[in-house]
C-alpha cells in the first residue's frame, strides 16, 4: 500500500479530475454551472480541496519583447475536503461567478479570434496539486456592450481582431490587471481613418466605454481628440442612438484633422 501511495503521489495510478460545464455560454456578471468529476485511482486518497478559476491569455509588452501569458483573474473554492476511496467517483456541482470585467469572447454566436478564456480546475490532493485542462467559456456581451458593437456594424466597420493587453486604462473602473481591445477597420465613408479600437470596463452598475482612433502606439493617449471615454449605466442603454453618437464623434475629429 505504501508503494501504491508513492506512485499516486507521483501521478501514476492516482485520482483524476474532469470538469463538465452544463452550458459554456455566459455574460459578464453571470454564473457558469457545472460539475467536477473526480475518479479515484488505485489507492485511497485524501482530497484536501477543490478550486476553480478563470484564466485568460494576455499579451505582455516590455521594452525588449512581447509575449503571451496565462493570467488567472478569478478563483473560487468549492466543496470541502473528503476521503476518496480507490476506484470511486465523486461529483461536486458548482456555480462559478463570472466577474463583470471578464472580456467578451463571442459575438453573434461567433468566437472572437484572439480570445482565450476558460475555467481551470485545481485539485489539492495528499498535499500536492493536480491541475486540470482549460475548459473554454463563451462570454457574450452585456446589453450596453452589444449596443455599441451593433453601432459599429451599422456604420460599416469591419471586425479586425481582439486581444487582451496587460496594463490599466486610466480613469476607468478597471480592477483586473489587463484590458480588452476590440479593433475595427474603418469603412470608406471615413477616408483617412485606419481603424478604431474599443475597450469595455464593466461593473454591476455601468460600463466604461473607451474608444481610440488611428492609434499611434503605446497606451491610450488621454487628452487627444482621437480618444473618447464615456460611461453608460446598464439601465440607460436604450436612451441613445449609439450609431449616431459614434458617427458625430468620428466626423467631428476627422473634420478637424482634415481626414474627410
d(CA 14, CA 8): 4
> Which cell numbers hold the place of 148?
455599441
d(CA 157, CA 146): 14
Arithmetic mean of pLDDT, 39-56: 91
Arithmetic mean of pLDDT, 35-63: 91
pLDDT at 213 (0 to 100): 86
Using the predicted structure, report yes or no on whether residue 116 has a pLDDT greater than 60. Answer: yes
Lowest mean pLDDT among 14-23, 96-105, 116-125, 210-219: 210-219
**pTM of the entire structure?**
0.86
d(CA 216, CA 249): 19
120-131: pLDDT as tens digits: 999 888 666 667
219-260: pLDDT as tens digits: 444 445 688 899 999 999 999 999 999 999 888 887 777 666
How many percent of the chain have pLDDT more than 70?
87
pLDDT at 224 (0 to 100): 58
Amino acid at each position: 500500500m505504501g508503494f501504491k501511495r508513492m506512485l499516486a503521489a507521483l501521478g501514476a495510478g492516482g485520482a483524476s479530475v474532469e470538469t463538465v460545464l452544463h452550458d459554456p455560454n455566459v455574460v459578464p456578471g453571470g454564473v457558469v454551472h457545472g460539475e467536477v468529476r473526480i475518479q479515484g485511482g488505485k489507492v485511497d486518497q485524501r482530497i484536501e480541496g477543490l478550486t476553480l478559476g478563470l484564466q485568460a491569455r494576455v499579451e505582455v509588452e516590455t521594452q525588449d519583447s512581447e509575449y503571451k501569458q496565462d493570467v488567472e483573474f478569478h478563483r473560487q473554492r468549492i466543496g470541502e475536503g473528503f476521503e476518496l476511496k480507490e476506484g470511486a467517483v465523486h461529483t461536486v456541482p458548482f456555480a462559478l461567478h463570472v466577474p463583470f470585467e471578464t472580456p467578451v469572447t463571442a459575438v453573434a454566436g461567433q468566437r472572437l479570434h484572439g480570445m482565450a478564456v476558460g475555467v481551470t480546475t485545481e485539485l489539492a490532493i495528499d498535499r500536492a496539486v493536480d491541475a486540470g485542462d482549460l475548459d473554454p467559456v463563451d462570454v457574450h456581451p452585456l446589453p450596453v456592450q452589444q449596443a455599441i458593437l451593433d453601432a459599429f456594424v451599422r456604420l460599416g466597420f469591419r471586425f479586425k481582431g481582439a486581444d487582451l493587453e496587460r496594463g490599466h486604462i486610466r480613469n476607468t473602473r478597471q480592477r483586473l490587471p489587463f484590458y480588452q481591445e476590440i479593433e475595427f477597420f474603418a469603412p470608406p465613408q471615413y477616408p483617412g481613418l485606419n481603424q478604431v479600437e474599443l475597450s469595455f470596463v464593466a461593473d454591476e452598475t455601468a460600463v466604461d466605454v473607451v474608444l481610440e482612433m488611428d492609434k499611434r502606439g503605446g497606451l491610450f493617449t488621454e487628452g487627444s481628440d482621437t480618444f473618447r471615454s464615456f460611461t453608460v449605466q446598464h439601465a440607460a442603454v436604450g436612451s441613445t442612438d449609439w450609431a449616431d453618437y459614434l458617427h458625430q464623434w468620428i466626423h467631428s475629429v476627422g473634420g478637424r484633422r482634415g481626414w474627410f
